[in-house]
Structure 1
Amino acid sequence: MSGSGPGGTAGMDESVAHNARVWNYWLGGKDYYAVDRAVGDHVTSVYPAIREVARADRAFLGRAVRYLAGEAGVRQFLDIGTGLPTADNTHEIAQRVAPESRIVYVDNDPLVLTHARALLTSSPEGATDYLHADVRDPDAILRAAAETLDFTRPVAIMMLGVLNFVPDTGRARSAVRRLLDAVPSGSHLAVTHPTLELGGEANAEAMRFWNENATPPITARTRDEVARFFGGTELLEPGIVSCALWRPDPGTGAPAEVAQFGAVGRKP
Structure 2
Amino acid sequence: MEYLNSQGQELSLVNYDVHFALRLCHENNLKEACVQLSGLLGLWEAAVDLALTVDLDLAKKMANMSPESDLELRKKLWLKIAQNVVSGKDDIQQAMAFLQQCDLIKIEDILPFFSDFVTIDHFKDAICNSLKEYNQNIQNLKDEMEEATKAAEQVREEIQSFRNHYTIINSSDTCEVCNIALMIRPFYMFPCHHKFHSDCLLAELGPSLGPAKKNRLADLERQLKILNNQTNIDSISTGSTGMSARDLVKSEIDNIVASECLYCGENMIRNIDKAFVEDNDYEHIMREWE
TM norm structure 2: 0.21
Q: Which fold has the larger relative contact order, with Cα–Cα distance below 8 Å and residues 6 or more apart in sequence?
A: 1
TM-score, normalised on structure 1?
Answer: 0.23
Q: Larger helix proportion, structure 1 or 2?
A: 2
User: Which one has a bigger Cα radius of gyration?
Assistant: 2
